[in-house]
Chain A
């Protein structure tokens, strides 16, 4: 029973990791918070759902969701961040302007879905259960785990093994120095936001398939939990977000299984508060949480 819960937690955790990776990527590289990340996630689920309803096979829907969300995220960068970056007031401003983007996306999703909870048609993803050493694993869970793992590997390969990734990391280190070396920061922003949106879209589809209830408000709880994951892993740390995502999935599943139902959120967010106090840079982050800062 316990092993089964841990396994379920790991699968959900993989998807949390995917969602949080995109979130932490933007924070780690540009030191900006994108509150519209939850809305992008929701858009992923919507795009996949509507393409399946329109008669396309699921894999087309997934690819379409990833592309659309990547581009949506780039649009958010251009509209919500670009001007602000130059003004030097981005720390507060970004929160408000991405919130604006979040509201706009949610309004349209609400309009399209007429505020209803939508579901994938039955057997969109074949229901098949495997028994393995006393544990039950569904094909969907395997698919979720494998695709989360593959997407993370791709991200790693891209960031650490390609020249494009080197440029991205150089902007993260020092944007001005990177520009002097001939890196075009706007191209880098394009890439990171595209990746971030694509990851959010992919996790949106996976969560949509797993829980099969798709709603225009589904992004908000994920955004709030995404905070817990990126803080636990260390803000901006990519391996941290992965491991913290898995851990978080397990913690959530276990508290939901063994403790009173209403207390899950209280426990999760108290945990977040405690982590911030004891180890604000998380498991793998850099020690900047208490740094004095200049004007705000």
Chain B
């Protein structure tokens, strides 16, 4: 076990951060918003945390809190114009946001280091802090799922018209989802900054958008476990397919295609559905046949 941990220690940290981004992506999708802003919000959080600690000498915990608050604030701001859009249009608008954040990070090089990267960031957090943060976020997400708020998200996702006819404010809940997503993205962006020694604007570009989105869609969009399982599978995959080194990305692509073709709801949701069907079949065979 200790050996395993030593070998895959770095991979485990990457997985924890990836799961954080995945949950940030998941929470907006759960409220029926097709936003892909996570990468941009994480970028803001990462740079904010790094700059606050390096330039102003803030304690890293204060910087992380600030990154999280800033992420939530930007998410909230973003939700206001985006309330007018739906579906693919939201996705494209938030993709534009991610690109703008990246372009500005590249441009303002006296603050962010530009294309050369922001270097020599102190390494202040380890696996423990990241794991605690992830568990905290998972707990909060599960708690939200069990309350009125979670049911409101669920109703909006399933059918907006029905939700608003039941008195669930679509705009309010989607703004809230944006803020939560921004807080998570900002926090994990900050954690990544304090772990990776250096930050590049391109780290939070289109590939990061795609990564977060594929964790969620592959793992499952309904349960909390979905995005984490998705992140675990997609991040572990390149590591365990070393013999195929050159074709790693092709393998990654093939797995995405296969899973989506045969389990369009994602691995966890499809599994849960199958389990539930079996349980129903055992208790009342007639019902399951429907």
Binding site for B on A (CB under 8 A): 33, 79-80, 83-84, 87, 89-93, 95-97, 99-104, 106-108, 110-111, 220, 224, 227-228, 231, 235, 260, 262-266, 269-270, 272-273, 276-277, 280, 289-296
- Least Cβ–Cβ distance between A261 and chain B, in angstroms: 9
Residues from chain B with a CB closer than 8 A to the CB of A293 are: 86-87, 160
A132 to B254, CA, bound (A): 52
**Chain B residue nearest in CB terms to A261:** B107
Residue from A92, A108, A269, A290 within 8 A of B85 (CB atoms) = A290
Q: Is the C-beta of B167 less than 8 angstroms from some C-beta in chain A?
A: no
A92 to B96, CA, bound (A): 18
Q: How would residues 230 to 250 of chain B score, 1 for a CB under 8 Å from any chain A CB and 0 otherwise?
A: 000000000000000011111
Q: Is the C-beta of B124 less than 8 angstroms from some C-beta in chain A?
A: no
Interface residues of B in 218-268 (CB under 8 A from A): 218, 221, 246-250, 252-257, 260-262, 264-265
Contact call B95/A92, Cβ cutoff below 8 A: no
Q: Is the C-beta of B210 less than 8 angstroms from some C-beta in chain A?
A: yes
A94 to B151, CA, bound (A): 27
Residues from chain A with a CB closer than 8 A to the CB of B102 are: 265
Query: What are 17 of the A-B contact pairs (CB < 8 Å)?
Result: A93-B217, A93-B260, A99-B210, A99-B253, A104-B249, A104-B257, A107-B246, A107-B248, A235-B89, A262-B114, A263-B103, A269-B97, A273-B93, A280-B89, A290-B84, A293-B160, A295-B157
With known contacts A99-B253, A107-B249, A231–B87 Cβ distance under 8 A? no
A102 to B214, CA, bound (A): 13
A139 to B183, CA, bound (A): 54
**Given contact pairs A84-B261, A266-B99, a sample of 19 additional A-B residue pairs in the complex whose CB atoms are under 8 Å apart:** A89-B264, A90-B264, A96-B217, A96-B256, A97-B260, A100-B254, A100-B260, A101-B257, A104-B249, A106-B249, A224-B99, A263-B103, A263-B107, A272-B96, A273-B96, A280-B89, A290-B86, A292-B86, A295-B158
**Chain B residue nearest in CB terms to A231:** B92
Residue from A224, A235, A269 within 8 A of B88 (CB atoms) = A235
Residues from chain B with a CB closer than 8 A to the CB of A263 are: 103, 107
Residues from chain A with a CB closer than 8 A to the CB of B246 are: 107, 111
Contact call B96/A296, Cβ cutoff below 8 A: no
Contact call B214/A99, Cβ cutoff below 8 A: yes
Residues from chain B with a CB closer than 8 A to the CB of A291 are: 86
Contact call A103/B103, Cβ cutoff below 8 A: no
Q: Is the C-beta of B161 less than 8 angstroms from some C-beta in chain A?
A: yes
A80 to B264, CA, bound (A): 11
A288 to B130, CA, bound (A): 42
Q: Is the C-beta of B7 less than 8 angstroms from some C-beta in chain A?
A: no
- Least Cβ–Cβ distance between A277 and chain B, in angstroms: 5
Residues from chain B with a CB closer than 8 A to the CB of A231 are: 89, 92
Contact call A266/B32, Cβ cutoff below 8 A: no
Residues from chain A with a CB closer than 8 A to the CB of B250 are: 103-104, 107-108
Contact call B217/A269, Cβ cutoff below 8 A: no
A83 to B261, CA, bound (A): 6
Contact call A100/B93, Cβ cutoff below 8 A: no
Q: Is the C-beta of B100 less than 8 angstroms from some C-beta in chain A?
A: yes
- Least Cβ–Cβ distance between B235 and chain A, in angstroms: 15
Residue from B96, B214, B249, B254 within 8 A of A269 (CB atoms) = B96
Q: Is the C-beta of B280 less than 8 angstroms from some C-beta in chain A?
A: no
Residue from A104, A224, A235 within 8 A of B95 (CB atoms) = A224
A259 to B81, CA, bound (A): 27
Contact call A100/B87, Cβ cutoff below 8 A: no
Q: Is the C-beta of B159 less than 8 angstroms from some C-beta in chain A?
A: yes
Contact call B97/A99, Cβ cutoff below 8 A: no
Q: Is the C-beta of B191 less than 8 angstroms from some C-beta in chain A?
A: no
Residues from chain B with a CB closer than 8 A to the CB of A79 are: 257, 261
Residues from chain A with a CB closer than 8 A to the CB of B261 are: 79-80, 83-84, 97
Contact call A104/B254, Cβ cutoff below 8 A: yes
A33 to B247, CA, bound (A): 25
**Chain B residue nearest in CB terms to A267:** B103
Residues from chain B with a CB closer than 8 A to the CB of A110 are: 249
A33 to B85, CA, bound (A): 17
**Chain A residue nearest in CB terms to B105:** A266
With known contacts A96-B217, A266-B100, A294–B159 Cβ distance under 8 A? yes
Contact call A296/B34, Cβ cutoff below 8 A: yes
Residues from chain B with a CB closer than 8 A to the CB of A100 are: 252-257, 260
Contact call A99/B256, Cβ cutoff below 8 A: yes
Contact call A270/B260, Cβ cutoff below 8 A: no
- Least Cβ–Cβ distance between A193 and chain B, in angstroms: 16
Q: How would residues 72 to 92 of chain B score, 1 for a CB under 8 Å from any chain A CB and 0 otherwise?
A: 000000000100111111011
Contact call A296/B32, Cβ cutoff below 8 A: yes
Contact call B88/A270, Cβ cutoff below 8 A: no
With known contacts A83-B261, A99-B214, A293-B87, A107–B253 Cβ distance under 8 A? yes
**Chain A residue nearest in CB terms to B107:** A262
Contact call A91/B88, Cβ cutoff below 8 A: yes
**Chain A residue nearest in CB terms to B250:** A107
**5 closest A-B pairs (Cβ-Cβ)?**
A103-B253, A100-B256, A266-B103, A100-B257, A107-B250
